Amino acid sequence: PPGSFTMGSDETDDAATRDRTPVDVKLSRGFWMGEHEVTQREYYAVRRRTVSPSFTTGKNIPFWGASEVKSVEEICKGLTDIERKAGKLPSGWEYVCPTEAQWEYACRAGSKTRYCFGDSVSQLGEYGNCADAALHEENPNYYFATRETNDGFGERLSPAGSFMPNAWGLRDMHGNVAEIVADHLTPERPGGKDPLVKVEKDATTQIRGGAWCSLPLYCESSFRNGISGRDKYNYVGFRIALVKEN
């Protein structure tokens, strides 16, 4: 549903979180969010291409390797065209890459805590695939992995939807693959009504939610991060939203 919320966090005490200063946001239009990250199967249905099998263990593993908002928008346009031609999409609706405000609003699902379920790192393994005890046990080179939680997956992606959902039924908002959002990464997050920030030159792709190799901090609802260039990473994917056209 449409609504207002506070995006960001008061916990801005180090370099990694200095861009989390809270801002008030109003989302004037309701939208649908994908239940989980786009999978290999779903990506293939639109693009008829797959990624390298080196880090992929099944068709229900999240698609990884996206590097720019533009590529996600192209996939969303392709899916919109396919479903319109098939008569599956109501008139006036389209698939899009969610804005960072839409993403955080959906991730929080009404919560004001570090994660959608609360503040406890020990519970994180019930909701997502992160750098945890299982990862360290499988590969001790991940010495930084937390031992406070265990999601049961080591050095690999988990099938989409493997963990508990948030209050709005959305899964994998924390961990597995970090998700590209429509806004480019800027030093300060935008507030106000339906915010969206695009940078014309030397833009940095913004990712949200953390990944299978991320510390709990990077998986928090308010944490922002970025990637530059067109390199493909096995920890970056995306989720789609369905919105009414302007």
Asked if the model's pLDDT at residue 108 lies above 90, the reply is yes
Give the full edge-to-edge strand order of the sheet including 3-7.
3-7, 23-27, 192-193
Asked if the model's pLDDT at residue 245 lies above 90, the reply is no
Compute the average pLDDT of residues 6-33. Answer: 87
Q: What residues have CB less than 8 Å from 8, skipping those under 6 apart?
A: 20, 21, 22, 23, 189, 222
What pLDDT score does 13 carry?
Answer: 66
| pLDDT single digits (tens) 86-103 | 999 999 999 999 999 999
Which pLDDT band holds residue 49 (cuts at 50, 70, 90)? confident
| pLDDT single digits (tens) 196-216 | 999 988 899 999 999 999 999
Which pLDDT band holds residue 58 (cuts at 50, 70, 90)? confident
What pLDDT score does 116 carry?
Answer: 97
* Spatial contact of 14 and 228, defined as CB atoms under 8 Å apart: no
Per-chain mean pLDDT for the chain: 93
Asked if the model's pLDDT at residue 51 lies above 80, the reply is no
Asked if the model's pLDDT at residue 244 lies above 80, the reply is yes
